[in-house]
Chains A and B, each alone.
Chain A
Amino acid sequence: MTNVTKSAIGFLPRAGFQHLIELLAEDGRTVIGPTVADGAIVYGEIHHVADLPQGIGAEQAPGHYRLVHHADERFFAYAVGPTSWKRFVFPPTLALGESRRDDHGHVSFGPAPREIPRLAFLGVRACELAALGIEDRVFLGGPYTDEDYRARRANTLIVAVQCAEPAATCFCTSMGTGPGIRSGHDIALIELDEGFIVTAGTPAGSAIVTRLDLAEATAEQLTAGADQLAAARDRIGDPVVTAGLHDRLLAKLESPRWAQIAERCLACTNCTAACPTCFCTSVSQRSDLDGHTATTERRWDSCFTKGFAAVALGGNFRPRVQDRYRQWLTHKFATWIDQFGTSGCVGCGRCITWCPVGIDVREELNVIAPPPQVSAGPAEAAQPHAPRSSVFRVEGVRRETHDTVTLALSTPDGIDWSTARGEFVMVSLPAVGAVPISISRRLPRGLELTIRAVGPTTTVLTGLERGAEVGLSAPLGHGWPVAAAQEHDVVIVGGGMGLAPLRPIVDEILAARSRYGDVHIYYGARTPSDVLYTEELAAWAARDDLEVGVTVDRADATWLGRVGVVTHLFDRARWDGTKALAFVCGPERMIQATVNALAGRGLTPDRIFISMERHMECGVGLCGHCQVGPFFVCKDGPVFSLAQLGDVFGREGI
């Protein structure tokens, strides 16, 4: 029976399996499949059936994996091992681009040379098909997409094999992903002792399958296949009750168990590397000795590394291992649903087996968030596109303070971003680095960025002179909802560098001053010499339609103004908060204090907007660095209303 139907069922005797491998190779594909290496069944190149782990399986337990020999001759009598397919569609290291900067400060950016291999995955399990589906949503489902992933994924043919030998660490049944194969494959196989029941899932799969010498699958064979699947399902059971898990887990953010896990957790990143869906990355530059040419390279990173949520000046939002474990587990099983509409876990059990100290997520979930209740999450879809990026030239440099400058930038390409929404841009300099900087003013043919030298990249940026060039992404993120403040009073509170992203709000209000009610601007800096935009502040203060207050933490002999925290500026003000919207930006502690003071004056959480600072690498929701609870600060923020943030706001270690 070799007719081309969508799911042509036939039977391939074991002796014919080599032919399948050859057909895949003839199709111009490198076949990747299971093979024994270094004491495990890993995924590597398969040229011949002899490369497959015939008669070999594996015993798995938390922190434990050993090869075992079977009596039968099966090729696929094992459960998933240390490799996951993600390394072939989402490589562990990837050159993203090449950039140059000459002695005159001219910069250029180009893509890295790239070759997308044509692959066939042989032996993909049900949980792994689900994992690829999840990665598709992460990389291709949002407003920004990973085109390298798209190309690799499109160039891959998938031969799935249904599981018959689950491991003691498997829990696909609980996650609803396996062990039965449902979709996502080009060809599906059910292995029996004497051969394979073959099904095609796509035309590409059919094209291969129809060239095989298939017998008709007998009723006994089909029954044997079904029995074997049922037995596998029974062996796994239902170790994790997922009903209501999202809410149960998020209700336990302060469980004492997190600290107990941290006593065991090594923060070694093995779980995230083994996980078929973990997608966090970091980017770095590798340059020649002169700093003239550089390659930007992306590598797998992990929310378990110390620097992952670190920001400039020694700040770290998840300083403790318990914060990072909590981030990982709650993301995987709860906030992933908010972000992508599915759980981030497929129940493959790799994180359990390959954790060197055998931390078992099934057990931790059951201890932290015992069952049950009900919940579900929505799905989303958007237009795929990649962020635009262009070369901008420094038109002017204004020194604000000893370590801070404002760069006026315009683009020779004539791109007009003055009306583009978005709150910040990624600024990149070849051989130096890339950093997110909020827009501090929109100009007709460019923008202004106020940058403080807090690290190596910003130090170089603050030293740029007129005529130098930088790379700029299109404006990213969600900015301040200034339009929503029309017909309302507006309270703007800035601390330190936090005045920079607030400045465009003032610009926008002043451009249509009559549309807004009373406008109050309060600004606090550490010392008089740290005050930004001094002339502008004076000009604003001179107007009679703005109230401007400036204070410093520590005064010097020249300072005649207020001293103290910024909230003191409106302690005794007479305005009525119930008619106002507030925009707040500054250091986390200052935001906390301001929010409390504003709440005390009658502003409800839906009318207080803050801008969150987090570690950002990609700026478009693909690298994972900036996550806070269910949000990517880069694409869902950085501006949020307090109502939106809920109890995520002010929580330690999140």
Chain B
Amino acid sequence: MIRAATTPHPRLGVVKLASCDGCQLTLLNLEDELLAIAERLDIVEFPEATSHRSNGPYDVVLVEGSVSTPEQLEQIHEVRREAKLLVTIGACATAGGIQALRNFADHDAFRAAVYAHPEYIESLATAQPVADYVKVDAELRGCPINAAQLVELVTALLTGRRPNLPDEAVCAACKRAGRVCVMVAQGIPCLGPVTMTGCGALCPGYSRGCYGCFGPREQANVSSLSRQFISLGRSPQEAGRLFAGFTGYAEPYRDAIVELGGLPGASLAGERAHRAMGAGVNAEGKS
């Protein structure tokens, strides 16, 4: 009546693109639940946990990482073909991640500044979220994702109900937790009002402003918030940089960064590359 007990277990895959593996580790760190999940799902691919590789088909595939190289671009199309449900996990997959900050700058100049032999580096001009290339069925935000949200998503998938992933500001969780607003009480800029909840308002609990790891919520009023940052004493460019974190490439953070004068790093990368090449010193000579 609910589910026939004899149905074969759904096949779950975890696929990694350009990322740090932190989100996969969140899955591995689910000590209490992982065994129970493994009993109900066939985990057919999970790079951090097993060298076993399968190429689908998957009932559910969790994709970590952004699309940053030509191979990854091919891979994500293939994964999409093989997957019934494709769920992106983490800031890289959902917003491009920290590596997407390079999208604000000249990609060749960056490459030349960072690598000894830039000619060996094959990468796309931009690092993009997965949804820019293929259809995504659900997403889990965060850098890294939140363990409780991951369990909630898997539980909902298994029981066929709506995952309880509210779209509200970090502020809502912050106030339920009884935290004092760091912006109002200490003048610390905080992305909480425009950022999606999910982390449990961790940073404000340590007298830090929110860095926006979970990315913009719907209808995020970034222009009002950046005006407030400026009235708290930040320059427009400083205000813009506050949006340039793990999800800085996501709309509308991206627009705020550009409108407020762009990233200083963008011109910096160009300059360093220039110097490196002009002085005949290869990039390895720099720390």
Contacts and interface: CB of A to CB of B under 8 A. Distances in A.
B160 interface: yes
Interface stretch (A72-80, A351-359, A419-427, A556-564): A351-359
Contacts of B177: 92
Contacts of B1: 103-105, 464-465, 467-468
Given A37-B180, A270-B171, A467-B1, A456 B155 contact: no
A284 B156 CA distance: 12
A289 B180 contact: no
Contacts of B162: 433, 455-457
Interface string A341-385: 000000000000110111000000000000000000000000000
Contacts of B155: 287-289, 291
A534 interface: no
Given A104-B1, A105-B2, A356-B193, A270 B166 contact: no
Given A82-B181, A307-B166, A268 B158 contact: no
B279 interface: no
A446 to B, nearest CB: 19
A284 B164 contact: yes
A457 B161 contact: yes
A300 B5 CA distance: 37
B224 interface: yes
B267 interface: no
A324 to B, nearest CB: 10
B228 A63 contact: yes
Nearest to B221: A266
A101 B159 CA distance: 12
A65 B37 CA distance: 47
Interface in A245-273: 263-270, 273
B180 to A, nearest CB: 4
Interface string A90-116: 001100000001011100000000000
Interface string B172-206: 10011111111111100010111000000000000
A289 B30 CA distance: 13
A431 interface: yes
B275 interface: no
B184 A93 contact: no
Contacts of B228: 63, 356-358
B167 A291 contact: no
Given A105-B2, A268-B192, A289-B40, A353 B184 contact: yes
A452 interface: no
B161 A289 contact: no
Contacts of A307: 166-167
Interface stretch (A38-46, A228-236, A486-494, A617-625): A38-46
Contacts of B183: 63, 356
Given A38-B180, A356-B228, A274 B159 contact: no
B134 interface: no
Interface string B206-228: 01000000000111010111011
**Which of B180, B192, B227 counts the most chain A CB atoms within 10 A?**
B180
A104 B1 CA distance: 6
Interface in A27-41: 37-40
B169 A267 contact: yes
B172 to A, nearest CB: 5
A268 B171 CA distance: 6
Contacts of A353: 184
Interface in B239-264: none
Contacts of A357: 224-225, 227-228
B136 interface: no
Given A40-B185, A266-B221, A356-B181, A431 B159 contact: yes
Nearest to B227: A357
Contacts of B154: 289
Given A266-B225, A289-B33, A431 B180 contact: no
Given A39-B180, A92-B176, A270-B171, A290 B224 contact: no
Contacts of B192: 268
B82 interface: no
A305 B171 contact: no
A266 B166 CA distance: 17
Contacts of B2: 101, 103, 105, 291
A433 B182 CA distance: 36
B48 interface: no
A616 interface: no
Contacts of A299: 176
Nearest to B1: A105
A438 to B, nearest CB: 21
A38 B1 CA distance: 52
Interface in A267-300: 267-270, 273-274, 282, 284-291, 299-300
A592 interface: no
Contacts of A274: 175
A268 B221 CA distance: 9
B178 A266 contact: no
A93 B169 CA distance: 16
B167 A39 contact: no
Interface string B141-164: 000000000001011101111101
Interface string B22-46: 0000000000010011001000000
Given A274-B175, A305-B167, A65 B185 contact: yes
A623 B181 CA distance: 25
A418 interface: no
Contacts of B207: 38-39
A274 B223 CA distance: 23
Contacts of A286: 152, 164
Contacts of A457: 161-162
A270 B193 contact: yes
B59 interface: no
Contacts of B156: 456
Given A38-B185, A63-B228, A306-B218, A290 B161 contact: no
B223 to A, nearest CB: 8
Contacts of A63: 183-184, 228
A268 B193 CA distance: 5
A265 B184 contact: no
B171 A273 contact: yes
A321 interface: yes
A49 to B, nearest CB: 22
A93 B178 CA distance: 11
Contact of A289 (B36, B176, B218, B224): B36
B168 interface: yes
A467 B228 CA distance: 59
A291 to B, nearest CB: 3
A211 B72 CA distance: 76
A87 B177 CA distance: 10
B203 to A, nearest CB: 12
Given A92-B175, A357-B228, A266 B169 contact: yes
Contacts of B224: 263-266, 357
A161 interface: no
Contact of A460 (B161, B217, B219): B161
A422 to B, nearest CB: 26
B31 to A, nearest CB: 15
26 contacts: A82-B180, A103-B5, A264-B224, A266-B194, A266-B224, A266-B225, A267-B169, A269-B168, A269-B169, A270-B193, A273-B171, A289-B33, A289-B36, A289-B37, A289-B159, A290-B158, A291-B160, A300-B176, A302-B168, A305-B168, A307-B167, A321-B221, A356-B184, A456-B156, A465-B1, A467-B1
10 nearest A-B pairs in the assembled complex, by CB-CB distance = A291-B159, A273-B175, A268-B193, A92-B176, A456-B162, A266-B193, A38-B180, A39-B185, A105-B1, A268-B171
Given A266-B194, A270-B181, 7 more contacts: A38-B180, A266-B224, A270-B171, A273-B171, A291-B2, A291-B161, A321-B221
